[in-house]
Amino acid sequence: MTLGIRVKMKKFLVLEDSPTMRRVIVNAVQKYEDSDVLGAADGYDGIELLSKHKFDFFVIDWLMPNIDGLTFVRKIRSLETYKNTPVLMITTKSSKSDIVEAITAGIDDYVLKPIVPSIVLEKINTLFERKESK
């Protein structure tokens, strides 16, 4: 028996150039309750998907061909629709200056590779809670 309550699906975009890593991240994100996850190989493909879908969350690799993760983040932050959409950066770049650059570009949180799926889910939960409390 259902109560007629429909929870809105959360639409995620995962940008990662490595097919294996993209699959690992997509599988982790799909464990988030009521999620719909699309994956793309770079920021160029991600921009194409922006014209077809409205996303609630972005998980983005920094180092990608064509359009890198930071360029993609700057692009979405310039769009009214995505000014406050949570962005989780997943990367190998770990220096203090890298983290400052990523935060300045508009990311909300940062996970270093290799990823632990439970940590990715924890970060997603925290970012959604932070967004909903505003």
Averages of pLDDT over runs of 10 residues in the chain (134 residues) are 59 97 94 92 95 97 95 96 96 94 96 93 93 82
Q: What is the pTM of this model?
A: 0.92
Burial, 38: exposed, middle or buried (Cβ in 10 Å; 0-12, 13-18, 19+)?
middle
CA distance 50 to 89: 18
Selected from 3.40.50.1700, 3.90.550.10, 3.40.50.2300, 3.40.640.10, the CATH number assigned to the domain covering 10-133 reads 3.40.50.2300
